[in-house]
Chains A and B, each alone.
Chain A
Amino acid sequence: MKEGQHGTQEAQPTMRMRARGFFKTGFAVFAAVTLLSAGMPDDQHLLDWVQQRVRALQPGRAERRIDDIGWAHGILEAEGFARKLNRPVFIFTHDGRIETGRC
């Protein structure tokens, strides 16, 4: 065995394993798509179908009533406005993101 050949022989199985892993994952994704995609719109109807569905899933006005409230951009800004307008500050502390619904 020539010098350096050992390293090459060591590397080959690893590369094969990686390639096998890649194809395995690729095949799993392909299989999942094939399995779940039966009945999907054909190319001709794709644009209309997808656009219609994306539009239908957007948040509606009633779901965005939170936008009707004039929220300050921070507690200190709110206190500044409150001093100026002689009003109290309403502070709601919470977990997550109330504005995106991921809360």
Chain B
Amino acid sequence: MRAGPLSDAKVISLLNSSFVPVYASNEDYTGAGKAPIAEKTERQRIYVDFINRRLGASDVHIYVVTGDGQPVEGLEVAKATQPDVLYSFLHRVATKLAVTPGGPAVPPHTQSAPPTVETDAMVFHTVARGSRQGPWREFPGENWTVLRPAEWTLLLPHSAAKVGDSWDVPETGARKLLTNFYPQTEDTTDKDRNLIDECGLHMRAISMTEGTLRVRIEGSLKMRRRPAPGSKDYSPLSAAVIGFMDISTGTPQIRRFNLTTWKATYGDEAFDVAQRYLPPEGLELLRR
């Protein structure tokens, strides 16, 4: 959907002018999901209402309802992803309801936005791209990782370091950063399904300039991951990573952190990952 109709300019224009669009992840809206109870109740009521009225319903589905939550029409995703089907559907519904087009009800804004965190936490953004074409490869996979002080201090040397010093990041710290180093797979939930066999980050101070220590990062990851939650077999993943970190030496603080894959394979597919620390002053801009 995201790579197909939801990237189509005609569909985007119609959704903004004549509908109030919303998406709802099943993980959030069912069981212990993070959506508020009232949201879950309304989602379930709509689902049951569509079933009772024989309008069709599914976990992965498109529902059109009135402002009072009354069913209008539904559309299967398998149909919606075919060329022009969603646009025709939306156009017909808007015409039937005599909608007067206008501006978007909610201003468009960044959807993959950094989480709101405590001021002493560090936010890392990870982008992963498999090298093949096809499903799950139309756009990259992204993750947001938050390190609290007890976690980001694991990246620092135990004592004041000088050029030439080296140290290893404890495995818990390396795991937290490297666990999202995998290409796009079918992910129906956020549940961690990696089996990490080896994971390490080695740091070496390479230069000192005006109170900033630059550190070279090298590391590796070996793990197994199923391509989809229901898959029987685990595919092996192997990655060598390289990057750098700048530390201010007064009160040791990480100022910059960039890490990327040097060579990485998942099964027999090569993939690339980029990970960077986003300083607090830039986070608000990324939420717009």
Please report A residues at the B interface, Cβ cutoff 8 Å: 25-26, 28-30, 32-33, 36-37, 40-41, 43, 46-47, 50-51, 53-59, 62-103
- Contacts across chains A and B counted by CB atoms under 8 Å: 299
Task: Say if the beta carbon of B226 comes within 8 Å of chain A.
Answer: no
A87 with B111: CB separation less than 8 A? no
A25 with B198: CB separation less than 8 A? yes
Shortest CB distance A14–B (Å): 19
A contact residues around B104 at 8 Å (CB): 69-70
**A72 CA / B263 CA spacing, docked (Å):** 40
A96 with B72: CB separation less than 8 A? no
A91 with B59: CB separation less than 8 A? no
Task: Say if the beta carbon of B48 comes within 8 Å of chain A.
Answer: no
Task: Say if the beta carbon of B262 comes within 8 Å of chain A.
Answer: yes
A28 with B198: CB separation less than 8 A? yes
Please name the residue on chain B nearest to A31 by beta carbon. Answer: B220
B143 with A36: CB separation less than 8 A? no
Task: Say if the beta carbon of B93 comes within 8 Å of chain A.
Answer: yes
B contact residues around A91 at 8 Å (CB): 22-24, 43, 46, 62-65
* Known A-B contacts A70-B106, A75-B42, A76-B38; A96 and B127 likewise in contact (beta carbons under 8 Å): no
A29 with B219: CB separation less than 8 A? yes
**A40 CA / B244 CA spacing, docked (Å):** 13
Q: Which of the listed residues B186, B216, B220 has the most CB atoms from chain A within 10 Å of its own CB?
A: B220
Say which size band chain B's interface belongs to. Answer: 35 or more
A contact residues around B7 at 8 Å (CB): 62, 65-66
A69 with B12: CB separation less than 8 A? yes
B139 with A79: CB separation less than 8 A? no
Task: Say if the beta carbon of B1 comes within 8 Å of chain A.
Answer: yes
Task: Say if the beta carbon of B276 comes within 8 Å of chain A.
Answer: yes
Shortest CB distance B172–A (Å): 13
Shortest CB distance A93–B (Å): 5
A50 with B260: CB separation less than 8 A? yes
**A15 CA / B21 CA spacing, docked (Å):** 59
A77 with B22: CB separation less than 8 A? yes
B contact residues around A29 at 8 Å (CB): 198-200, 202, 219-220
